Amino acid sequence: MFSRILTIAGQEIRIGIRNRWILLAAIILAVFSLALALLGSAPAGTLGVDRLTITVASLASLSVYLVPLIALLLAFDAICGEVERGTLLMTLSCPISRFEFLIGKALGHSLVLSFALVVGYGLTAGLLVAAGSGSLDGLVDFGRLIVTSILLGICFLSVGYVLSALTRQSRTAAASAIAAWLFLVVLYDLALLGALVANPSSVFAADVFPYAILLNPADAFRLFNLAALGASDLVGGMAGVAETLPFDPMLALGSLAAFAGLALAGSALLVRRIAP
Amino acid sequence: MTETNFHSPTLSVRSVCKTFAGLKAVDGVSFSLNPGERVALLGHNGAGKTTLFKIVLGFLKRDGGDVSVLGSAPGSHAARAGTAYLPESVAFPGSLTGREVLTFYARLKGESPAAALPLLDRVGLADAVKRRVGTYSKGMRQRLGLAQALIGRPKLILLDEPTTGLDPISRQNVYELIGEIAGQGTTVLLSSHALTELEARTDRILILSRGKLVADDILSRLRAQAGLPIRLKVWTRPEDVAHVSECLGGGRMNGRSVEFDCNADDKIQRLSAISALGGLVEDVDVHAPSLDDVYRHFSNAANRES
């Protein structure tokens, strides 16, 4: 079983290397994070906060947009693309179960994403440390950011697999992946903020809003990271809610993990029904 | 081909039905294949060949009937472990090399990649093992797919139109390979449109028409059943055409030749009558009904019934 899962995962990684997906994702993450670190954290010195930490705060917001996008782009083609090309017929005629196939794909894509995150963000962290503006605490913050980004990535990889298993054509899957990204990452927040601004002191703000944030993996990710930094007062914006939350921020991490698990289980169920 | 076989059948299909949105794609099909048999599955586009393959592989659920692959249910681990499949059209990941693709499938099948790699030589891809599959021609991709199907000596190989896109020499190589593996006891079921090339290369022929199995026998017996005439064409000088036609008891005159049909039983008699004409005859063509003709006969007969 494990050798078959590793075979599928290995193939995904190899394809990721060959068509330069890994390289591209790592470069994008490195460029954006470097830009944020070098330009965005200029005033950090006057605030007396570790420059690494303040960079992590900006990177958490960056991850919310970039990581889901990269994950969806990796995953949308995973099932319907193989159906379209006829390779799924051949792969599934081998003695491999559909579950093993899906887990192999997820493992391969997660490793591709992890590599890009570790290299991209690691480069930024390394440069900051080399420039003498980093501490051990800052590095811990960086490590937490990378690990939770991987978890966020797995959430969106799973969303991608669900969409890929539901559609018959890779073009449709690509369009629905973009729609999912737009909804979960952009529109969901806008809608929540809009509702909050419209009635700031209602039941919504106290009882619905915090849990609505918890349900969306992108928001849960940001919430957990900013709360863990303890720097929310510095960052402002949505992070301000972290202090007034009716629950422990660890719950956000749990929600992230639960979302990943449920979405992956959902895609595993859908893959069982596929007629390749 | 002997009718008595001491082995249990590799594949047995009994009254299998499958309906798609009211259309009977497979309608009461029964047959069984024995170890080492090379069997061709013929049928027009949409006759149900690929559907039948997918049912045997367990990808599609049948509406009725029984299928047993190597004594197990289709799609079960045991069935898949002993079965190999080459789909009709395959697009391997273009950025991988031929060797990497074959290694991938060897690992999935639990075989050693080192033992599988010589298969690339066998299908004539020795020079291309390190090239990206994206640069392969259609024929090369088809041969890579065939190499994939041969990994680990499966007991049953299903090939969906294995020779499409291949040049005549590669086709011949494919049939040589099929003969070789069948000689080692593997059952080969292949579907094809290129009928004439199947002659003498398959042990048995199944003809599928509109989801129904309309023929299942060896070619010579199918020929006899069809009762198709043998066409004789006698070439002569233009001035002797009328005379020759008269001596042979009629037939269509065609400038320099006379054409007529005869039954298989009369063939020798007719040929000796032709040779008795001596110098009048310049040449004789004997055209036995080809597999195309036999196929058309059975396919049309089924269409008339429905």
Total of domains in chain A = 1
Q: Which of B53, B107, B130, B141 to mutate to test the interface with A (most CBs of A within 10 A)?
A: B107
Q: What is the CATH number that goes with domain B229-288?
A: 3.30.70
Confidence label for A48 from pLDDT (cuts 50, 70 and 90):
low
Query: B91, A15: Cβ pair inside 8 Å?
Result: no
| Residue-wise pLDDT tens digits, A67-107 | 999 999 999 999 999 998 888 999 999 999 999 999 999 99
Q: Which domain holds residue A25?
A: 2-273
Contact assignment for B91 to A275 by CB distance below 8 Å: no
Distances (CA, A) of A117 to A61, A112, B74: 14, 9, 43
Asked if B90 lies within 8 A of A85 by C-beta distance, the reply is yes
Number of A:B CB contacts under 8 A?
70
What is the C-alpha to C-alpha distance for residues A2 and A100, in angstroms, rounded to an integer?
Answer: 8
User: Which residues from A are below 8 Å from B145, CB to CB?
Assistant: 90
Q: What does residue B214 show for φ and ψ, rounded to 5 degrees?
A: -105, -10
B81 CB within 8 Å of a chain A CB: yes
Which class for B95: exposed (0-12), middle (13-18), buried (19 or more C-beta within 10 A)? middle
Q: Rounded distance, CA B90 to CA B102, Å?
A: 14
| Contact residues, chain A, for B54 at CB < 8 Å | 89, 275
> A192 vs chain B: nearest CA distance in angstroms?
42
- State how far residue A21 is from chain B, nearest Cα, in angstroms: 12
Sheet holding B257-262, edge to edge: B252-253, B257-262, B230-236, B281-287
Residue B132, exposed/middle/buried by CB under 10 A (0-12, 13-18, 19+)? middle
Interchain pair B105, A94: CB under 8 A: yes
**Shortest Cα distance from A179 to chain B (angstroms)?**
27
> B84 touching A, CB under 8 A?
yes
Would you write out chain B's pLDDT as a tens digit for each of its 306 residues?
333 444 688 999 999 999 988 888 888 899 999 998 999 998 888 888 889 999 999 999 989 889 999 999 998 999 999 999 999 888 888 899 999 999 999 999 999 999 999 999 988 888 999 999 999 988 888 889 999 999 988 999 999 988 887 888 888 888 888 888 899 889 999 988 777 777 778 888 898 888 888 888 887 788 888 888 888 888 888 888 888 887 777 777 777 888 888 887 788 888 888 888 888 888 888 888 877 888 888 888 777 766
Tokens 């979302």 belong to residue? A259
Domain boundaries, chain B: 11-82+154-224, 229-288
* pLDDT at residue B2 in the model: 38
- What's domain B11-82+154-224's architecture? 3-Layer(aba) Sandwich (3.40)
ipTM metric: 0.86
pLDDT score recorded for residue B296: 84
**Closest residue, chain A, to B96 (C-alpha):** A15
Inter-residue contact B64 to B15 (CB < 8 Å): yes
Could you read off the pLDDT of A182-223 as tens digits, one per residue?
A: 999 999 989 988 888 887 777 777 778 888 888 999 999 988
Please report residues of A whose CB lies closer than 8 A to that of B148.
Answer: 90
CB of B80 within 8 Å of a chain A CB? The answer is yes
Helix (H) or strand (E) holding A128: helix A98-130
DSSP B132-149: BGGG--HHHHHHHHHHHH
Cβ–Cβ below 8 Å for B91 and A87:
yes
Query: Nearest Cβ partner of A93 from B83, B91, B93?
Result: B83
Q: Give the one of B91, B104, B148 whose C-beta lies nearest to A85's C-beta.
A: B91
A160's enclosing H/E stretch is helix A136-166
Residue B266 to residue B261: CA distance in whole angstroms = 10
Q: Identify from B59, B105, B108, B155 which residue to disrupt to test chain A contact, counting A C-beta atoms within 10 A and taking the largest count.
A: B108
Neighboring chain B residues of A97 at a CB cutoff of 8 Å? 77
Structure tokens at A176: 């629905």
Angle in degrees, CA A111, A256, A199, rounded to 5: 140
Instruction: Tell me if B80 and A94 make a contact (CB, 8 A cut-off).
Output: yes
Q: Are the Cβ atoms of A275 and B148 closer than 8 angstroms?
A: no
Kindly list the residues from chain A whose CB atom is less than 8 angstroms away from the CB atom of residue B89: 86
How close A20 gets to chain B, by Cα (Å)? 10
Closest CA to B146 of B85, B91, B202: B85
Output the pLDDT for position A56: 84
